[in-house]
Amino acid sequence: MEDFRLSHGTVRFAAFELDSRTSELRKQGTKVKLQEQPFRILQILLQSPGEIVSREELQQKIWPSDTFVDFDHGINNAVKRLREALGDTAETPRYVETMPRRGYRFIGKIECEAPRMRSLAVLPLENLSHDPQQEYFAEGLTEALITTLAKIGELRVISRTSAMLYKGVRKPLREIARELEVDAIVEGTVLRAGQRVRITAQLIDAANETHLWAESYERHLRDVLHLQAEVAEAIAKQVRVKLTPQERAHLAQTQPVNPEAYEAYLKGRYHWLRRNSEELPKAVQYFEQAIAMDPTYARAYAGLADSLSGLGVYFVAPDQGCGKAKTLALRAVGMDAGLAEAHASLAWATMWHDCDFLTAEREFERSIELSPRYATAHMWLGFCLGMMGRYEESYTEFKRAIRLDPHDAYTYVAFGFACYCARRYDQAIEQFVKSLDLDPSIAQAHIGLGWVYIRKAMLEAAIAEAQRAVELSPRTTLFLGSLGEAYAAAGHRDKAYEILNQLEDLSKLRYVTPYVVGRIYTALDEKGKALGWLETGHREHAAIRVLLKTDPAFDRLHSDSALSGSPVQHEFSARSDLNSSAPCPDERRGKHHAFAGNHLIMHALGERRNFDFGTRCDVQLLHHR
């Protein structure tokens, strides 16, 4: 292991203090007047205390070749002025000693103080193997290091999504730091050779691009968690962050991992972070592999829960998506109550499946308590608060998430939907557009724009946005249904009914949420049918029903007499007090129908069919169709 310091923020010697960041020399706290050349000579000598710095080296660093100056006179005069400022002499030097015909050296005793930093970004670790099949491993270790550092309360760490945008980017580090608003940059390399892992990391002061610290670590893959904690603790020490006893204990609590399970977990994370219908099923498969290899691997359970929640919102039946996700997240919390990701996973699944906002809020807060810089928890909590109608608190959490992960397109999507539910339509448009600027392929942002445009009576624009979402994700029935809603709102009733027929046909193949059918009938002003579908969604725990409290699409139903005695009335009643934190009622389910929801459209036509596909089959349908 090698450890070397290349420069410092502040250096103290005797009564003096040199601050490289402010370019100031102070004596007992009082600034000493010193011209640029004498200051630079002192700065250069202090970088290599006790070592001779030649006159030629000083000339190259202070008086470049294109500078027209008498160098010998210039350096002699600068050294003289430096000694005068320090109260030093050439005959009996205490600080700057002349080495005849060789140069100068600093001979005083120094104390170094690293710059105090409060924010940093970990840039993607470079994959030294240059094997594209190992990219997931380099990305996974980068994310793991970010996650470990994010648990340190005093330190603001830029999250993975924003950091990964700089993969392969050749930009001055000062510019990257300015874009991310951080004090320091961590960059490095990773080399995997069989079951051995070598990480080299270096810490760079972003203000002047000077290297503050570098270190190399090599471990067996089973000890990779210990490696991550060791690197994180070293970085915390270098930026002078004081670890609390709890943080120090958490870093020390690292257990060996099953190498194959860890590798499968990293692959699962690699696919989950892409969050679309093609990648989520792959994430499920890898997380399941990790659990099969190590049934006690709490992180893998949390990862599988997040993947199934993602599928459950859009693609699969409630009990096969968010319902199973909740069960898995509970297992993860039971295995490791100190795992922030597990508490966030439990909160997310509970919100979508049970509409239990209070429990979700408590679990999100516990996650953030364990890992204050976990951007995903802040984003999800912001969305949860928005669905409860607590918009100012929601806004605060989204701003925290954005500060931690300013380039995560999905954060802006979630923020946009919260603004939409708050009737802040222009602000919602702004967030959805920001999301698309970061990632034009996100269909959810187009749907969000479509919903906003309906409310603003920009109906042709709403149709165009819904069409674009369907083009990007043609198998997502929620998006197709949103196109039907846009057609209905624009008065194209025939096209709206045509989409209802398409949803009927698609329901024979995959899950169709009754929520979106209810939206279409609401836009068609067929309130009875709309209410019937929303009640069905409520009974079936349709995930997207979390919007019922606040969705402007259902404003016209709130005062309808047909709601009297309806379970959905409890959902809508929250609109009378947007700051209410009361959870939705959680009715006991009737007899379960596997792949619930596919029979729902046939039921409206006087026909009920049962389908019996489990989660694995659902995932395979998504993957192969």
Q: What is the pLDDT of residue 110?
A: 84
pLDDT digits (tens, 9 = 90+) for 289-339: 999 999 999 999 999 999 999 999 888 888 889 999 999 999 999 999 999
Look over the chain and give the mean of its residue pLDDT values, rounded to a whole number.
Answer: 84
| CB-based contact 297:255 (threshold 8 Å) | no
Q: What is the pLDDT of residue 59?
A: 84
**How far is the CA of 319 from the CAs of 333, 355, 475, 616, in angstroms?**
20, 14, 20, 13
| CB-based contact 573:590 (threshold 8 Å) | no
Q: What is the pLDDT of residue 557?
A: 85
Q: What is the pLDDT of residue 525?
A: 95
> Where is average pLDDT lowest: 79-83, 157-161, 388-392, 564-568?
564-568
Average pLDDT over residues 65-88: 80
pLDDT digits (tens, 9 = 90+) for 12-63: 899 898 877 667 888 887 889 888 889 989 988 988 888 899 988 888 888 7
Taking the C-alpha atoms of residue 390 and residue 392, their distance in angstroms, rounded to an integer, is 6
**How far is the CA of 161 from the CAs of 186, 271, 305, in angstroms?**
15, 13, 20
Average pLDDT over residues 333-354: 96
Residue by residue, DSSP assigns 547-590 as GGGT-GGGGGGTT-GGGTT-HHHHHHHGGG-TT--PPPP-PPP-
Taking the C-alpha atoms of residue 423 and residue 430, their distance in angstroms, rounded to an integer, is 13
Contacts of 253 (CB under 8 A, 6+ apart): 338
Taking the C-alpha atoms of residue 544 and residue 313, their distance in angstroms, rounded to an integer, is 6
Last residue of a domain, one of 97, 113, 129: 113
Establish if 438 belongs to a structural domain.
no
Establish if 28 belongs to a structural domain.
yes
Q: Does 236 share its domain with 185?
A: yes
Establish if 311 belongs to a structural domain.
no
Answer yes or no: is pLDDT of 387 > 60: yes
Answer yes or no: is pLDDT of 584 > 70: no
Last residue of a domain, one of 230, 256, 282: 256
Domain with residue 142: its CATH number is 3.40.50.10610
Establish if 329 belongs to a structural domain.
no
Nearest residue to 277 via CA among 313, 301, 302: 313
Say how many domains are in the chain: 2
Q: Does 238 share its domain with 187?
A: yes
Establish if 149 belongs to a structural domain.
yes
Nearest residue to 42 via CA among 99, 15, 5, 80: 80
| CB-based contact 488:520 (threshold 8 Å) | yes
pLDDT digits (tens, 9 = 90+) for 522-559: 999 999 999 999 999 888 888 888 988 899 999 888 76
Q: Does 50 share its domain with 66?
A: yes
Beta bridge pairs of residue 17? 12, 26
DSSP conformational letter for 217? E
Per-residue pLDDT band for 237 (boundaries 50, 70, 90) equals: confident
Last residue of a domain, one of 113, 130, 146: 113
Q: What is the pLDDT of residue 414?
A: 97
Q: Does 123 share its domain with 200?
A: yes
Q: Does 136 share its domain with 243?
A: yes
Using a 10 angstrom Cβ sphere, with 0-12 exposed, 13-18 middle and 19 or more buried, the burial of residue 135 is middle
Residues of the chain above pLDDT 90, percent: 52
Taking the C-alpha atoms of residue 105 and residue 96, their distance in angstroms, rounded to an integer, is 6
Establish if 419 belongs to a structural domain.
no
What is the pTM assigned to this prediction? 0.72
pLDDT digits (tens, 9 = 90+) for 77-112: 999 999 999 999 999 999 999 999 899 999 998 876
Q: Does 18 share its domain with 98?
A: yes
Residues of the chain above pLDDT 70, percent: 85
Domain with residue 83: its CATH number is 1.10.10.10
Higher-confidence residue: 186 or 273?
Answer: 186
Average pLDDT over residues 485-490: 98
Contacts of 534 (CB under 8 A, 6+ apart): 514, 515, 518, 545, 548, 554, 568, 571
Per-residue pLDDT band for 578 (boundaries 50, 70, 90) equals: very low
What dihedral angle (degrees, nearest 10) is formed by the CA atoms of 260, 262, 267, 273?
170
Taking the C-alpha atoms of residue 568 and residue 565, their distance in angstroms, rounded to an integer, is 9
Q: Does 138 share its domain with 109?
A: no
Domain containing residue 190 = 119-256
- What the block records as the tokens of 469 is 């979402």
Taking the C-alpha atoms of residue 157 and residue 374, their distance in angstroms, rounded to an integer, is 9
Q: Does 204 share its domain with 99?
A: no
126: helix, strand or coil? strand
Answer yes or no: is pLDDT of 150 > 50: yes
Per-residue pLDDT band for 491 (boundaries 50, 70, 90) equals: very high
> Within 10 Å of residue 501's Cβ, how many Cβ atoms?
11
Q: Does 134 share its domain with 161?
A: yes
Per-residue pLDDT band for 67 (boundaries 50, 70, 90) equals: very low
Q: Does 241 share its domain with 130?
A: yes
Q: Does 128 share its domain with 250?
A: yes
Q: What is the pLDDT of residue 101?
A: 86
| CB-based contact 435:410 (threshold 8 Å) | yes
Per-residue pLDDT band for 623 (boundaries 50, 70, 90) equals: very low
Establish if 600 belongs to a structural domain.
no
Q: Does 238 share its domain with 133?
A: yes
Establish if 267 belongs to a structural domain.
no
125: helix, strand or coil? coil
